[in-house]
């Protein structure tokens, strides 16, 4: 027996190690299968058992401190250069940023009121919508190191408030969800992993599907019936039904549409992720989708509401005062005068239709009528005024009358020697003088 | 001719390393394997834990040592993924055992042989991972074989540089 053990010692150790690991695999596979008796939902995988979690915890505790150190030293070198050496244009940038901050604060004050109003209205309509209220910024410090496993590690953990199934996003789009949380680090399953799943909707066609990754690390939407309307370039958003991602977050853009080789009538949509999944540095973890406003935010909102209430009251006062003033002051308009413009079909006594008089002021009568006066007419200047412009020639008028005989005008060459109307006075009124403005024509 | 006799070679050429090397090198392999993909993105064609397993298995020429080191490193790799613990563990265990078994029988100082072995064992590890995932676990996992081949090539090239560096840490009589 002893000789058998010593002779096959290597093989026995190998088999023992393999059997131990196979049994471990069987236990891990059996537990999720038993736990999955309920309805599985996309994007929600089973939690690890205690022993498996312990191994993950050890592995993370072994690796992440070094990753954090490497990441921190790299950032430290970058920071040393950026913060202490490369400071050109910093003052100008600071000024610009301060202006931007001031502008954004003003915009935020108005937007927050709009958002709250919209949420109140949606609550009234019983909308089941989640809102992002609180996020936590985290640094990506490492990966799983396996091409089959698209997992990243964050430098924040349960002690920072992270929990399983929290959504991880960037300003560009979604990244993944927190899969395992350790005291000082967290494991995030990215959307391009084969085991991930997120409910998505195509923006234009409103087609819903499940987003998952493939072997090459690309993201695709599966289980979609063939639809001619789905074209590359269409935006993909989160559907909000997976209890992980809030609705409406950008996911990516449809890159290509291909027929499903395994199932006829279905298509696979490859999606280009909006977030740069291969080069993530900082991410945001959505830690709360309930309204937990800070004391400062609540105070700001209260001030804003009071301000808006005061403005509304002042506006009401102004309107009331204007109405009272309107009642007390006499109107500028003659209430007895009919408005010709508002009486279509009005006619003059001679049967011609009433033409609305343009609201131009009547020129004052000239004190000394000459050929430049309105209504002046060649030789009979004194008699050619308006009906209310009675000519009163005096001694001065011949002095300004042209002494030379009238020169035949080019405009009237066929009548030489005939008295002509001075060309310098073309604006002879052909219509009777207008009555005072606002009175209309009767 | 005596150089290819297993017992003679084993007695003469078992390489030993300081104990800290057995700790630091695998740990560094794990850390770099987890960190470098952040910098290299999709071009991180390497599997450093497999490479370290192969190196120590070939040079220690102990199948037990190679198997245990492979199992520990593989399970640590699995601990960093979201998959089941043991997938890479089984693959690395088999690779460690086979590398040590081969190291007893052939001369492993030649760089060409080292490259070839690294390429071969890295491909084998990928195949075992696929076998365990698809057959034992029954999971539907797609595999990009081009990536696997590139990873094997990457390991062969890295091993060409890494193995001589690690040779410097061995204890001399």
> What integer pLDDT is reported at residue A200 of this predicted model?
92
Contact of B31 with chain A, judged by CB distance below 8 Å, is answered with yes
> What integer pLDDT is reported at residue A293 of this predicted model?
57
Residues in chain B within 8 Å Cβ distance of A17: 67-68, 71, 93
The average pLDDT across A271-282 equals: 89
> What integer pLDDT is reported at residue B155 of this predicted model?
94
Beta-strand ranges (E) seen in A246-382 are: 250-259, 266-273, 282-288
Question: Residue B96 — pLDDT band, cuts 50, 70, 90?
Answer: very high
* B144/A215 CB distance under 8 A: yes
* A146/B136 CB distance under 8 A: no
Cα separation of A441 and A412, whole Å?
Answer: 36
Which of B37, B64, B82 to probe by mutation at the A interface, max A CB count within 10 Å?
B82
Tokens 């993105």 appear where? B41
Tell me the C-alpha to C-alpha distance, in Å, between residue A374 and each of A405, A419, B122: 21, 18, 107
> What integer pLDDT is reported at residue A298 of this predicted model?
66
Please tell me which of the candidates B44, B89, B133 has its beta carbon nearest to residue A21: B89
> What integer pLDDT is reported at residue A179 of this predicted model?
92
> What integer pLDDT is reported at residue A396 of this predicted model?
39
- DSSP-assigned letters across all residues of A1-43: -HHHHHHTHHHHHHHHHHHHHHHHHHHHHHHHHHHTTS---TT
Residues in chain A within 8 Å Cβ distance of B102: none
Q: How far out from the chain centre does Cα A138 lie?
A: 26
Residues A282-308 pLDDT 10s: 899 998 876 555 666 666 666 666 766
Cα separation of B155 and A147, whole Å?
Answer: 14
Residue A10: both structure tokens together:
């290597």
pLDDT tops 90 at residue B27? yes
By CA distance, what is A139's nearest residue in B? B38
> What integer pLDDT is reported at residue A332 of this predicted model?
52
> What integer pLDDT is reported at residue A112 of this predicted model?
80
pLDDT tops 50 at residue A341? no
Which 3 state secondary structure label does DSSP give A178? strand
Mean pLDDT score of chain A, rounded to an integer? 73
Nearest-10 crossing angle of helices B48-60, B111-131? 120
Percent of chain A with pLDDT over 70: 64
* A148/B141 CB distance under 8 A: yes
Q: Which region holds residue A330: left if phi is over 0, alpha if psi is between -120 and 50, else beta?
A: beta
The average pLDDT across A12-22 equals: 93
Residues in chain A within 8 Å Cβ distance of B30: 59, 62-63, 145
The average pLDDT across A343-369 equals: 59
Domains of chain A and CATH, by start: 130-288 (2.40.10.340)
* Alpha-carbon torsion (A159, A161, A163, A165), positive or negative: negative
Residues in chain B within 8 Å Cβ distance of A56: 79-80, 85
Residue A34: both structure tokens together:
């038993």
Interface of B with A in 142-161 (CB under 8 A): 142-144, 147, 151
> What integer pLDDT is reported at residue A38 of this predicted model?
42
Interface of B with A in 4-23 (CB under 8 A): none
Phi/psi for A3 (5° steps) reads -65, -35
In terms of average pLDDT, the best of A335-349, A352-366, A420-434, B73-87 is B73-87
> Comparing A89-98, A297-306, B36-45, B121-130, which segment has the lowest mean pLDDT?
A297-306
pLDDT tops 90 at residue A130? no
> What integer pLDDT is reported at residue B163 of this predicted model?
93
CB A198 within 8 A of CB A211: yes
pLDDT tops 60 at residue A344? no
> What integer pLDDT is reported at residue A253 of this predicted model?
93
CB A188 within 8 A of CB A176: yes
Per-residue DSSP letter, A353: B
Per-residue DSSP letter, A363: P
Which 3 state secondary structure label does DSSP give A259? strand
For residue A10, give every residue at least 6 positions away whose Cβ sits within 8 Å of its Cβ, in sequence order, or none: B63, B64, B67, B97, B101
């Amino acid at each position: 027996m002893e000789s058998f053990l010593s002779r096959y010692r290597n093989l026995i150790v190998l088999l023992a190690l393999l059997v131990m690991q196979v049994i471990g695999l069987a236990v891990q596979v059996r537990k999720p299968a038993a736990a999955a008796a309920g309805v599985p939902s996309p994007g929600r995988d089973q939690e690890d058992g205690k022993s498996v979690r312990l191994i993950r915890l050890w592995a993370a505790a072994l690796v992440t401190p070094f990753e954090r150190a490497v990441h921190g030293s790299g950032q430290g070198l970058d920071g040393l250069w950026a913060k202490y050496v490369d400071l050109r244009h910093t003052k100008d940038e600071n000024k610009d940023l301060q202006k931007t901050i001031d502008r954004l604060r003003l915009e935020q004050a108005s937007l927050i009121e709009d958002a709250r109003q919209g949420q109140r209205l949606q609550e009234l309509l019983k909308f089941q919508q989640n809102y992002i209220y609180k996020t936590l910024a985290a640094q990506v410090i490492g990966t799983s190191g396996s091409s089959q496993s698209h997992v990243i590690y964050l430098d924040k953990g349960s002690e920072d408030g992270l929990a399983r199934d929290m959504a991880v996003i960037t300003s560009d789009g979604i990244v993944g969800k927190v899969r395992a949380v350790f005291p000082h680090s967290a494991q995030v399953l990215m959307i391009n992993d084969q085991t991930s799943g997120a409910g998505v909707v195509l923006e234009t066609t409103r087609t819903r599907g499940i987003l998952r990754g493939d072997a090459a690390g690309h993201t695709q939407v599966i289980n979609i019936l063939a639809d001619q309307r789905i074209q590359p370039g269409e935006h993909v958003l989160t559907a909000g039904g997976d209890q992980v991602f809030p609705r409406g977050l950008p996911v990516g853009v449809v890159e290509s549409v291909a027929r499903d080789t395994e199932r006829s009538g279905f298509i696979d949509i490859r999606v280009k992720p909006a977030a740069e999944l291969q080069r993530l540095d900082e991410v945001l973890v959505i830690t709360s989708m309930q309204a937990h406003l800070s004391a400062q935010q609540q105070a700001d909102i209260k001030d804003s509401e009071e301000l808006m209430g005061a403005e509304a009251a002042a506006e009401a006062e102004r309107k009331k005062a204007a109405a009272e003033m309107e009642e007390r002051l006499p109107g500028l308009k003659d209430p007895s005068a009919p408005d010709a413009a508002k009486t279509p079909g009005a006619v003059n006594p001679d049967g011609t239709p009433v033409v609305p008089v343009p609201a131009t002021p009547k020129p004052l009568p000239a004190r000394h009528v000459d050929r430049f006066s309105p209504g002046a007419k060649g030789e009979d200047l004194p008699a050619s005024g308006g009906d209310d412009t009675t000519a009163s020639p005096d001694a001065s008028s011949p002095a300004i009358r042209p002494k030379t005989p009238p020169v035949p005008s080019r405009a009237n060459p066929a009548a030489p020697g005939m008295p002509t109307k001075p060309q310098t006075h073309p604006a002879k009124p052909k219509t009777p003088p207008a009555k005072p403005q606002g009175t209309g024509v009767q | 001719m005596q150089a290819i006799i297993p017992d003679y070679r084993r007695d003469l050429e078992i390489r030993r390393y300081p104990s800290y090397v057995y700790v630091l090198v695998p740990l560094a392999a794990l850390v770099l394997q987890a960190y470098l993909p952040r910098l290299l993105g999709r071009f991180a064609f390497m599997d450093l834990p497999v490479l370290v397993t192969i190196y120590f298995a070939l040079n220690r020429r102990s199948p037990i040592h190679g198997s245990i080191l492979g199992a520990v490193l593989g399970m640590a790799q699995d601990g960093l993924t979201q998959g089941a613990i043991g997938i890479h563990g089984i693959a690395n265990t088999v690779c460690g055992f086979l590398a040590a078994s081969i190291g007893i029988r052939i001369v492993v100082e030649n760089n060409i042989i080292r490259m070839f072995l690294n390429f071969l064992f890295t491909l084998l590890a990928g195949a075992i991972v696929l076998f365990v995932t698809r057959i034992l676990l029954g999971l539907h996992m797609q595999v990009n074989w081009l990536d696997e081949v590139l990873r094997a090539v990457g390991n062969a090239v890295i091993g060409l540089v890494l193995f001589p560096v690690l040779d410097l840490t061995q204890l001399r009589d």
